[in-house]
Amino acid sequence: MDTVIADLRDRGVKFHYQTSITAATKRGDAIELTGPDGYTHTTDYVVDATGRTAVTTDMNWDQIGLEYDPVAGITVDDHLETNVPGVYATGDILNKPQPKITPVAIFESQYLAHLFTKETSDAIDYPAIAYTVFTSPRIATVGVSAAEAEESDQYTVEHFDYQNDWFRQVGNEVHAGVSVVFDRDHQLVGATSVGNDAVETINGLTDLIEAKTTHEQVERLIYIFPSIAHSYMRKV
């Protein structure tokens, strides 16, 4: 996040932390924001990005005794079954640690389809989940985070700054890089990237994590040079 903030600051974006807005008033073509302690700021646009929560009201779930948290959503077991037998839940409405994003909702619904057609009776087994923040530049991550890994002796973390990568510098990216996390067997288990192509970098590394691709197998992958994939594969 610090990298993205530094990049945005370089491009003239100003951050006002710990600021509450109590009113937005149209003044001609502009909008005047006001807040406590005489705070005012005039701007062209206002974008409200304060997050979202599950809609749990007016569903009459209490009548059937369904367990849920009003903000986090419905509680399920490892087969996505609620506390009411035969009632299952999937997607963003779940009270879960996994990111609430489209591919995860699809994965859960596919799992339920397999469960209901008796193709499986196993518990749901989430793979490493890649996700991004669509900032400029992007932040994307998958698996064990670099921050988590640095606090554990189970992992090693390697950081690569793209300022030393001549191919990436074609795009004049100043604040960009990738961190890769390995377990004790030097198996890739996580990666985080900041940069304009962070999404493609992390999608590619997700394949390696899920397939448990070894360093020796990666060495056999001959990609087009120069390319983004060639660049990040050399880090594994």
Ligand X SMILES: Cc1cc2nc3c(=O)[nH]c(=O)nc-3n(C[C@H](O)[C@H](O)[C@H](O)COP(=O)(O)OP(=O)(O)OC[C@H]3O[C@@H](n4cnc5c(N)ncnc54)[C@H](O)[C@@H]3O)c2cc1C
Binding site for ligand X (CB under 6 A): 52, 91-93, 100-103, 105
Rank residues 110 and 152 by Cβ distance to ligand X and give the closer one. Answer: 110
Closer CB to ligand X, residue 8 or residue 101? 101
Q: Please tell me the number of Cα atoms within 13 Å of 211 on its side-chain side.
A: 11
Is-contact 69 95, C-beta < 8 A? yes
Sorted by sequence, the CB contacts under 8 Å of residue 203 that are 6+ apart come out as: 130
* Listed residue (44, 43, 32, 36) closest to 18, CA to CA: 36
* Least distance from ligand X to the Cβ atom of residue 101, Å: 3
Give yes or no for a contact between 202 and 31, defined as CB atoms under 8 angstroms apart: no
In DSSP notation, 160-172 reads: EEGGG-TTGGGGT
Tell the smallest beta-carbon distance from residue 78 to ligand X (Å). Answer: 18
Tokens 């100043």: give the residue. Answer: 174
Q: Chain-centre distance of CA 214, in angstroms?
A: 24
User: Which residue has the closest beta carbon to ligand X?
Assistant: 91
Residue closer to ligand X, measured from CB, 92 or 165:
92
Q: Tell me the C-alpha distance between 143 and 132, whole Å.
A: 12
Closest distance between ligand X and the C-beta of residue 69, in Å? 16
Residue closer to ligand X, measured from CB, 80 or 191: 80
CB 197 within 8 A of CB 191: no
Q: 74 burial class (0-12, 13-18, 19+ CB within 10 angstroms)? A: buried
d(CA 46, CA 26): 11
Q: Which is nearer to ligand X, 130 or 208 (CB)?
A: 130
Is 149 or 205 the residue whose CB approaches ligand X more closely?
A: 205
Closer of 205 and 236 to ligand X (Cβ): 205
